[in-house]
Chain A
């Protein structure tokens, strides 16, 4: 081995030192950047990073024309830091030459939030009494933008603000019971808000940023860990303006006749879409406490009642469809009938034995007549027809709560019920179910299950249309046309014709005067009045059903007919329905 010169030795040593140093540093580098990196990053972020939830916006509920029925608004919480209020002896300087004491600030805040200065002072005292280092207390929650801007102008250093979302319903009680409402913590409680929550609710996002000493986000430090996704828009089939007018009409009749409650439904014949579903004094979702709990639900869907004579139409339709009768079928009709031992019923007003046709029986609304003819069909056949008309079935129109009504199997009917069901007693239905049954008659015998929710449009613009339920061919088109003739006769020649008529329009409908259970095994002495109809009769486009329960003055079907009449007029105006063509051909009612 050649002897190394001292110089080379020194070089080698230097090289070795450098190499060892490099290795040491590399190991440390890998350790920090790779092995410990996640842990250190997390620790560092904890120290500097500020995580923020980016709240998503709840979607709107709109009517069939896109008019907003429910929207999300921002409200602002005013907060203060109790310990900072006491800094500098309670004084602060909004501008260098202006000194403000805490008491003056309380007065300034109170003037905007509507609180007394002592109230705010108490908030501070209470918070400090509980925790002398308290850094947070609410002054007032949910102030509006005007108040927020006014408070910001005060330049009070110990006040901070937070944003929260609130639901607003710009049309108030218009469709209020269907739209529903949400609770104070944002959880949906009723109506479409509840049933369509999946569409309306968004997904909150998350991001973190690092902030400097002055609170400014450090450039490039925002990390979006999850993007916020706003909720979708639910479109209803309701027309806001029609809904208002129909609600006005039913409210007016319920108030003027001193009735207990009233409902009106307008249904589009060709699509099954609900255009207006009105209930008296329904809830204003902006002020849920303004009405008692009964009025917070959409009673059109949840209140079944015995429909009464409006169901004679369905019995007649079944008879015609089965070929068991025609509109001209003659029936000598007494006032009272005892078809079987222990079974008895009578018409509403006494009359001599009358030579009525089926059409005459419908126009005169004879319980005896429809029962005598209806008995030509056995009870199972009549049950099956009512079932196909949608009685006893939930509509699945889109509300969270719905009643199927009371409709027992034909095998469970007692002898009296066997006859009563022919004229709409001994069973119950909601007004939506009644309207849906009439829609089948208006639509050539094809029942399109009612729809309330048209579509859901996601925040990214993707539209999900409501899948319509399968249509049901209830009766033949011919039977439906024959049944419509009788309805037109009723509205044109019947005793309510004067109140129903609208010049230029051919209308059809059937009255109903129904007894209701008193809940103790008997019937109440007063009645629920209904008028169920459709128009224009040359080609029916709309089914309208109005019900007024237990009116005192007048205690008459006229009240329901007036509500119906006003609703039909409103429908004509809203949808610019042209006057009818053709003319009513009078039917033979007697022989």
Chain B
């Protein structure tokens, strides 16, 4: 671009107009053209089409425009990406929260499915255990064992499970009741005995 401007143009100008300068610099000389011995032919520098030449101003503006456009595009992209980062973070923390909830729920299921809990609930509902169930042999339809065999009451759980503490059980009326009524009653009695109401004026610390 710069080739169009300062040094090259001046050189060309000098080459093209050298003669005229020289003539003008001779004071007192009539501006008479010296007789030419034959046609003085020179190669005319190829004329540049004026219309194809971009004005420096437009070129500069275009350049600045392109740069600005790039910058704005970059800015927009950057905003979009960081907006996406916020969204991704929100989604990630949602995923984390849901994973946590899922874990708590599955672990609740695990402990509710524990044999201690099932036995406690079955006993509260008044179910009994068929100690030796009869079986039906598919090949000949024979019933093995006795139908209406012996049943046993479900013993309360003798195998502790700390994860069930404080979880109620459902009784035959569909109501939630204490898992260990005796234990709960004993604990309540201890608590009641421990809470002795204070009598007399409240003690105040001695200060100096």
Contact = CB atoms under 8 A, between A and B. Distances in A.
Interface of A: 7, 11, 67-68, 71, 73-74, 144-145, 168-174, 216-220, 240-241, 244-245, 247-248, 251-252, 255, 284, 286-287, 290, 502-504, 569, 572-573, 576, 578-579
Dominant secondary structure at the B interface: helix
Interface string B114-142: 11100100000000000111010100000
B101 A145 contact: yes
B39 interface: no
Interface of B: 7, 81-82, 84-86, 88-89, 100-101, 103-104, 107, 110-111, 113-116, 119, 131-133, 135, 137, 144-146, 149, 155, 157-164
A569 B131 contact: yes
A132 B132 CA distance: 72
A171 B114 contact: yes
B85 A168 contact: no
Contacts of A503: 132, 145-146, 149
23 contacts: A7-B7, A68-B110, A73-B107, A74-B103, A170-B163, A171-B111, A171-B115, A172-B160, A172-B162, A174-B114, A216-B85, A218-B82, A219-B81, A219-B88, A284-B160, A284-B162, A287-B162, A503-B132, A503-B149, A569-B131, A573-B131, A573-B132, A579-B145
A397 B101 CA distance: 37
B82 A171 contact: no
B116 A172 contact: yes
A578 B157 contact: no
A295 to B, nearest CB: 11
Given A247-B159, A290-B160, A240 B7 contact: no
Given A73-B103, A73-B107, A172 B161 contact: yes
B85 A172 contact: no
A174 B89 contact: no
A579 B144 CA distance: 6
Contact of A217 (B89, B146, B158): B89
Contacts of B81: 219-220
A168 B115 contact: no
User: Which 9 pairs between the two chains have the least Cβ-Cβ distance?
Assistant: A172-B161, A170-B110, A244-B115, A286-B162, A251-B158, A219-B85, A287-B162, A170-B111, A579-B144
A376 to B, nearest CB: 42
Contacts of B164: 172
B160 A170 contact: no
B54 to A, nearest CB: 24
Contacts of A240: 115
A286 B133 contact: no
Contact of A255 (B111, B157, B158, B162): B158
A546 to B, nearest CB: 16
Contacts of B131: 569, 573
Contacts of A573: 131-133
Nearest to B110: A170
Contacts, number: 109
Nearest to A502: B132
B145 A504 contact: yes
A578 B133 CA distance: 10
A504 B132 contact: yes
B144 A286 contact: no
A242 to B, nearest CB: 10
B155 A248 contact: yes
A579 B115 CA distance: 26
* Best-surrounded residue of B82, B115, B145, B155 (most CB of chain A within 10 A): B115
A375 to B, nearest CB: 43
A287 to B, nearest CB: 4
A174 B111 contact: no
Nearest to A152: B97
A247 B158 contact: yes
Given A71-B110, A173-B160, A503-B132, 16 more contacts: A73-B107, A74-B100, A170-B111, A171-B114, A216-B85, A218-B82, A219-B84, A219-B88, A241-B115, A247-B159, A286-B161, A286-B163, A287-B162, A504-B145, A569-B132, A573-B133
Contacts of A287: 160, 162
A579 B163 contact: no
Contacts of B145: 503-504, 579
B91 to A, nearest CB: 13
A245 B133 CA distance: 16
A71 B86 contact: no
B61 to A, nearest CB: 26
Contacts of B149: 503
B161 A171 contact: yes
Contacts of A284: 160-162
A569 B130 CA distance: 10
* Best-surrounded residue of B131, B161, B163 (most CB of chain A within 10 A): B161
A504 B144 contact: yes
A572 B132 contact: yes
Contacts of A71: 107, 110
A172 B159 contact: yes
Contacts of A502: 132
Contacts of B88: 219
A240 to B, nearest CB: 7
A578 B135 CA distance: 7
Contacts of A576: 135
A286 B107 CA distance: 14
A252 to B, nearest CB: 6
Given A145-B100, A145-B101, A168-B107, A244 B159 contact: yes
A173 B159 contact: yes
Given A74-B100, A172-B116, A579-B144, A248 B86 contact: no
B133 to A, nearest CB: 6
Contacts of B101: 145
* Best-surrounded residue of B81, B160, B163 (most CB of chain A within 10 A): B160
A255 B158 CA distance: 10
Contacts of B116: 171-172, 174, 244
B79 to A, nearest CB: 11
A488 B110 CA distance: 41
B74 to A, nearest CB: 14
A172 B144 contact: no
